[in-house]
Amino acid sequence: MNPSKLPGGPTQDEVMAVAIFKLGLRAGDLVLDIGCGTGKVSIAAAQVMAHVVAIDRRAEAIRFAKNAAKREGVKTIEFVCGEAHDFLAADSRIFDGAFVGGSHGIAEFLPVLAQRVRRNIVVNAVLVSTLQTTVETMQDLGIFSEVILVQIARSHRISESIMFKPIDPVYVIVGKGAAC
């Protein structure tokens, strides 16, 4: 399966670097990746963490992410196909950090997620409506920290020079978990 066929596609490296930094990951952490898509963020986090739980509601995304992890030799990712809200209702673990790349139902699962994360929750959003919903929900929960707008442009050769082509901007929304 081609990752460009998955809606949202893989997270850009530069955006992922900001998101991973804002998660404040430490060796041995247990991390939750909601809306794992191609598995790119889960794989990057697994390079630092002891264990990552990667969830996506699309079976094709889970298959792709599992294959990507296998190619990279990463064995510390637990893949779950399902909805974030259902997973959080059935699994009682406390996570050190959570990355949300898939925002379907975020207003419903964010209050539960906040109670299950010790440190940071990072949400990547490309839609202004997702930005608004996430910030308002985090503010209502008293966990909102900041929003960072990440806009990348990559160089491309043109004639005998270079030009820059922009990549769609991403809002990186950061909140503090409430679990003790």
Its pTM stands at 0.92
Higher pLDDT, 48 or 174: 174
Q: Distance between CA atoms of 117 and 108, rounded to whole angstroms?
A: 16
**What is the reported pLDDT for 5?**
64
pLDDT digits (tens, 9 = 90+) for 37-86: 999 999 999 988 779 999 999 999 999 999 999 999 999 999 999 999 99
Would you say residue 8 has pLDDT above 70? no
Q: Distance between CA atoms of 36 and 62, rounded to whole angstroms?
A: 8
pLDDT digits (tens, 9 = 90+) for 84-130: 999 999 999 999 999 999 888 999 999 999 999 999 999 999 999 99
Domain count, the chain: 1
> For position 109, which CATH number holds?
3.40.50.150
Mode of pairing for the β-strands spanning 77-81 and 161-166: unpaired
Per DSSP, helices labelled H in 24-170 are: 40-46, 59-72, 84-90, 106-115, 128-141
Q: Please list, in sequence order, all residues whose beta carbon lies within 8 angstroms of the beta carbon of residue 139, skipping any fewer than 6 positions away.
A: none
Domain span including residue 112 = 3-176
3-class DSSP assignment, residue 103: coil
Residue in the block written with tokens 């699994």? 91
- Two tokens at 3? 């990752």
- pLDDT category at 22 given cuts 50, 70, 90 is very high
Would you say residue 1 has pLDDT above 60? no
